[in-house]
């Protein structure tokens, strides 16, 4: 709009000048003179309602030349804007692709609607590398560009788009498109090309949730059901709200994280009280054992074995520091 405003202003000025000029030449009213100005600028051809004299002819000639020049400028400007936008978009996509090609173990978010945007903001807050695939250029300009997120403009159900997002090198994928059918296709494609990939999918219908699980999604979230359950819990247990705020990240300095108990790691073979977790003020609230069973609550004497995973609550900095040290050989 800012680009076209000068041209609109120039056309308006020409119409005003033409109306005043024809009024002075013919002595007619403003509406008739505006009409003469418009058909003159549009070069549709007309016969003067009365002789206008040499001065009038000179005015019409100059007016026609100015009008023709303005419309030529308008057409070339619009063409230049279209081409420049296409070139800019192509260069931006090339830059994004170069950034994605350097990523490994990153996360892919398919869809940047309301749910996708919230996911991306959480990932950005955690300093995670991720790529957004969004089909709406308006949504990209509204959300992704101002936030500085890495994105691809295109259809996530396109196999080539997932490949461009680095699917084979990715560590996780969230399928949160608006259509259950589209999410199912994305999950099926991703699980076939990268079987170890951790996939989380959105489902609006319970029937779709079962199919998404069968297709390879590790977790399936129904936002309506999850929201309704939380509302019911908050209504029934007012004290439950504090824990939910921690889980949802409403306390900026606290985080809920799942940590693996790896062979040779700092946790394998230790009971909770003898592990390095208490001194870092990390509280273990659940243990998922290698056989799939879950233990909750957790006591200080409970053993953490290889293949287990633990759910801890603590300060973000402490969790990130512990994870970094655990990966250091």
Q: Would you put residue 148 in left (φ > 0), alpha (ψ -120 to 50) or beta?
A: left
Architecture of domain 103-227: 3-Layer(aba) Sandwich (3.40)
Domain at 5-90: CATH code:
1.10.287.70
Tens digit of each residue's pLDDT (9 = 90 or more) over 38-91: 777 776 655 555 666 677 777 777 877 777 777 777 777 766 666 566 667 777
Q: Is the pLDDT of residue 22 over 70?
A: yes
Domain ranges of the chain: 5-90, 103-227, 252-327
**Rounded distance, CA 122 to CA 257, Å?**
13
How far apart, in Å, are the Cα atoms of 277 and each of 86, 241, 281, 309?
53, 25, 6, 14
Q: Which residue has the tokens 């990390």?
A: 282
Do 5-90 and 103-227 agree at the fold level? no
**H helices within the chain, ranges in order?**
5-26, 30-41, 53-101, 114-125, 137-139, 145-147, 159-164, 180-193, 206-215, 223-236, 240-247, 316-327
Homologous superfamily (CATH) of 252-327 is Regulator of K+ conductance, C-terminal domain (3.30.70.1450)
Rounded to two decimals, the pTM is 0.58
Q: Is the pLDDT of residue 293 over 90?
A: no
């Amino acid at each position: 709009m800012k680009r076209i405003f000068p041209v609109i202003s120039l056309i308006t000025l020409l119409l005003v000048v033409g109306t005043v000029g024809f009024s002075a030449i013919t002595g007619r009213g403003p509406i008739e003179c505006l009409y003469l100005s418009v058909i003159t600028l549009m070069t549709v051809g007309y016969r003067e309602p009365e002789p206008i004299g040499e001065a009038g002819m000179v005015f019409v000639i100059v007016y026609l030349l100015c009008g023709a020049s303005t419309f030529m400028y308008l057409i070339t400007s619009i063409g230049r804007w279209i081409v420049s936008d296409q070139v800019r978009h192509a260069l931006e996509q090339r830059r994004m692709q170069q950034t994605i090609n350097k990523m490994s173990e990153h996360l892919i978010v398919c869809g940047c609607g309301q749910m996708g945007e919230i996911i991306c903001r959480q990932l950005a807050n955690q300093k995670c590398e991720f790529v957004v695939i969004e089909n709406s250029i308006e949504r990209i300009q509204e959300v992704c560009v101002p936030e500085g997120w890495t994105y691809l403009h295109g259809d996530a159900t396109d196999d080539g788009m997932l490949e461009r997002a680095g699917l084979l090198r990715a560590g996780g994928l969230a399928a949160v498109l608006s259509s259950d059918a589209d999410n199912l296709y994305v999950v099926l494609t991703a699980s076939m090309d990268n079987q170890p990939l951790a996939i989380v999918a959105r489902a609006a219908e319970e029937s779709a949730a079962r199919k998404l699980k069968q297709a390879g999604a590790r977790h399936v979230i129904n936002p309506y059901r999850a929201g309704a359950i939380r509302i019911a819990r908050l209504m029934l247990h007012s004290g439950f709200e504090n824990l939910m705020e921690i889980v949802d990240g409403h306390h900026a300095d606290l985080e809920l994280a799942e940590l693996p108990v790896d062979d040779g790691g700092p946790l394998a073979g230790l009971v909770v009280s003898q592990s390095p977790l208490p001194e870092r003020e990390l509280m273990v609230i659940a243990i998922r054992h290698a056989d799939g069973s879950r233990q909750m609550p957790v006591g200080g004497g409970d053993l953490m074995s290889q293949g287990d995973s633990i759910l801890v609550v603590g300060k973000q900095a402490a969790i990130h520091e512990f994870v970094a040290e655990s990966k250091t050989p």
